[in-house]
Amino acid sequence: MSLPLLIAVAACYLVATLLYVNLLLTQRGAMDGLARGTLVAGLLLHTVAFVALHRPGDGGGAPWSPVQDSISFMAYAVVALWLIFQGRWRVKALGALVSPLAFFLVFYAALPIGGPAPPESVRSIWPHFHILLSVIGFAFLAIACAAGLIYLVQDRELKSRRGAALARVAFRLPPLEVLDRVNTICLLYGFPILTIGMITGALWESGRTGRFVWEPHVTFSLAAWLLYLLIVFFRLVWHQRGRRAALLSVIGFLLLTSSYLGVRALGLGS
Q: Is residue 184 part of a domain?
A: yes
Q: Could you tell me if residue 32 is inside a domain?
A: no
Domain assignment of residue 127, yes or no: yes
Q: Which one-letter DSSP state was computed for residue 179?
A: H
Domain-embedded: residue 162? yes
Reading the chain (270 residues) residue by residue, the pLDDT tens digits are 577 888 999 999 999 999 998 888 887 767 888 999 999 999 999 999 888 776 655 544 444 466 778 888 999 999 999 998 887 777 888 899 999 999 999 998 887 765 555 555 455 566 778 889 999 999 999 999 999 999 998 888 777 765 555 555 555 678 888 899 999 999 999 999 999 998 888 787 666 666 656 667 777 788 889 999 998 998 888 777 788 889 999 999 998 888 777 655 555 444
The pLDDT value given to residue 62: 47
Residue 20 belongs to some domain of the structure: no
Cα separation, 264 vs 80, in Å, equals 25
Alpha carbon distance 129, 134 (integer Å)? 8
Quote the pLDDT of residue 66. 66
- Within 8 A by CB and 6+ apart from 55, the residues are none
Structure confidence at residue 70 (pLDDT): 83
Total domains present in the chain: 1
Q: Specify the pLDDT at position 60.
A: 45
The span from the CA of 9 to the CA of 51, in Å, is: 14
Residue 229 lies in domain? 119-265
Q: What does the alpha-carbon distance between residue 17 and residue 14 come to, in Å, rounded to a whole number?
A: 5
